[in-house]
Each structure stands twice: as structure tokens, then as C-alpha cells.
């Protein structure tokens, strides 16, 4: 992917806890259920790493989460070539990693001569944002693993997208298409404003509304626990309202 990313932002690869050599237990000795279903809800310190997807291996993990969550919601999803996505200078996939597992992901797209995905439904609305000196970006393919879902995780992923869009793409505005039942969450907690009404999105065969954020006014909150391109830790609290 051709981007102006600083290699220093990307942390060294960490060994997975699964790589520790542990004797294989017999089936009858496994008295405890697997922790995976409750992993994201345990009250503990843990690090989340948010970084761009730069290899096909990482893309596979992010794409698998998107397909799984969209299928669970009953959404359709178009299959795209990994090389096409990763070589596009106007798009970047961000993934939030917990050890060696992608727990959330989204794609940031910069406006270009090809337009934005949201132009299919909201071209007149987006045209009002296309002014001299302004650069519009869109957030798409957002997916969060429900086992790790939290307000902090979603907020940090969105803020990471903003920071990348501003610092690398020179973005001034961000738009996102969301299901109408999730629009209130984005407005209350992420300060989005509605720009377009309810329409049927053919890409996922589901209703959508267009939301807008003016990035000129965006500042990361001082209490933000997860930072773009850094490792950090904190307590994470689940929120059933967090949309996928």
C-alpha cells in the first residue's frame, strides 16, 4: 500500500500467548470451558494495537471479521481483491489487534476521481462538501467482534481513522453510512451529524443514513485509552449499544 505512514508507528511483532509450549491436555481433563466467549468482558489490563493492514495475512484476518459480522447481521458484502484494496493509494484498512487476533476493523477511503462508495446513494449530499481546499474521506466496512465490543474500542478505532485521514490523506471531512438504528449512537458519542436521509443501500441490502463529521473541529479526548499506532492498556467496559 502506498501511504505516507511512518514505520516507527508500527510496533514490533509480538508473540502470541498461544505460542507458549503447553502440554496438550486430554479431553477429559479439560474441566473449564474455553475463555474465548468471555475474553472481551474480563476486568483486566490488556493492550490493544491499532495499525494499518499491510500484508495479505493481516488482510485475511480483517476481511474474515468483516464477512463474519456482516453475515451475522444478514448483510450482503462484495468480495474485493486484497491486492486491489492494499495497492489503492486512496484507501487504507485499519485493524485493532488483541494479541494475534483482529477484534475490530474499518476502511478509510479518500475522495478521488473515482468518487466514494457513498456517492451511489448520496452524491448530491457529498457534493455540498466538495469545496476548494476540502478533502472528503469515508469510513466503510466497519466490524467489531462482539466478544470484544466496548465503547472505548469503537471510539478509539474511529478516532484512529480520523487521525490517519487527516495526517495522511489531508482530510477535512468524514462521512459514514450506518444503519438508521445505530445513527443515534454515532450522534451522541461520536458527534456525527446526519447529512442524508434513509435509503436502501444495495451494497449490503440494508437501510442506511449518511452521517458527517467536520474534522476541523476534531480533537482526541484527553482520556482516550487507545492511541493511533501505539500500544496501551486499560479497563474496557462492554456496551450492548455498540453497533457493528
* Helices 151-167 and 180-190: angle between axes, nearest 10 degrees: 80
In a domain, 1, yes or no: no
Phi, psi of 22 (to 5 degrees): -125, 130
pLDDT at site 192 = 94
The pairing of beta strand 136-144 with beta strand 173-178: parallel
In a domain, 226, yes or no: yes
The answer to whether the beta carbons of residues 161 and 106 sit under 8 Å apart is: yes
CATH number, domain at 57? 3.40.630.30
Overall domain count for the chain = 1
In a domain, 242, yes or no: no
Is pLDDT at 25 greater than 50 in this prediction?
no
Angle, CA 64 vertex, CA 24 and CA 116 arms, to 5°: 160
Sign of CA dihedral 164, 165, 167, 173: negative
Query: How would you write 19-79 as a 3-class SS string?
Result: HCCCCCCCHHHCCCCCCHHHHHHCCCCEEEEEEECCCHHHHHHHHHHHHHHHHHHCCCCCC
- Give the pTM: 0.71
In a domain, 143, yes or no: yes
In a domain, 8, yes or no: no
Mean pLDDT of the chain: 75
What pLDDT, in 10s, does the model give residues 54-112? 898 999 999 999 988 888 777 777 766 666 677 889 999 999 998 888 999 999 999 99
In a domain, 84, yes or no: yes
**Structure letter (DSSP) for residue 16:** P
- Output 233 or 137, whichever has higher pLDDT: 137
CA–CA separation, 130 vs 183, rounded Å? 23
Question: Where in the sequence is the domain holding 105, given as residue range(s)?
Answer: 33-234
In a domain, 41, yes or no: yes
In a domain, 203, yes or no: yes
Amino acid at each position: 500500500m502506498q501511504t505516507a505512514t511512518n514505520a516507527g508507528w508500527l510496533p514490533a511483532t509480538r508473540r502470541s500467548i498461544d505460542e507458549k509450549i503447553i502440554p496438550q491436555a486430554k479431553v477429559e481433563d479439560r474441566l473449564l470451558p474455553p475463555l474465548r466467549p468471555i475474553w472481551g468482558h474480563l476486568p483486566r489490563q490488556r493492550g490493544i494495537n491499532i495499525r494499518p493492514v499491510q500484508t495479505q495475512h493481516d488482510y485475511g484476518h480483517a476481511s474474515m471479521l468483516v464477512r463474519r459480522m456482516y453475515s451475522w447481521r444478514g448483510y450482503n458484502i462484495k468480495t474485493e481483491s486484497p491486492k486491489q484494496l492494499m495497492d489503492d493509494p486512496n484507501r487504507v484498512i485499519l485493524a485493532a489487534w488483541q494479541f494475534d487476533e483482529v477484534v475490530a476493523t474499518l476502511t478509510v477511503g479518500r475522495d478521488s476521481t473515482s468518487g466514494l462508495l457513498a456517492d451511489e446513494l448520496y452524491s448530491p449530499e457529498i457534493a455540498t462538501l466538495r469545496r476548494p481546499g476540502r478533502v472528503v474521506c469515508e469510513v466503510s466496512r466497519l466490524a467489531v467482534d462482539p466478544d470484544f465490543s466496548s465503547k472505548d474500542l469503537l471510539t478509539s478505532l474511529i478516532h484512529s481513522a480520523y487521525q490517519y485521514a487527516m495526517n495522511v490523506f489531508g482530510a477535512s471531512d468524514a462521512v459514514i453510512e450506518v444503519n438508521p438504528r445505530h445513527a443515534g449512537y454515532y450522534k451522541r458519542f461520536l458527534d456525527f451529524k446526519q447529512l442524508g436521509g434513509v435509503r436502501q443501500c444495495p451494497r449490503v441490502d440494508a437501510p442506511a443514513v449518511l452521517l458527517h463529521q467536520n474534522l476541523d473541529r476534531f480533537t482526541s479526548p484527553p482520556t482516550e485509552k487507545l492511541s493511533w499506532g501505539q500500544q496501551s492498556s486499560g479497563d474496557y467496559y462492554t456496551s450492548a449499544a455498540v453497533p457493528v
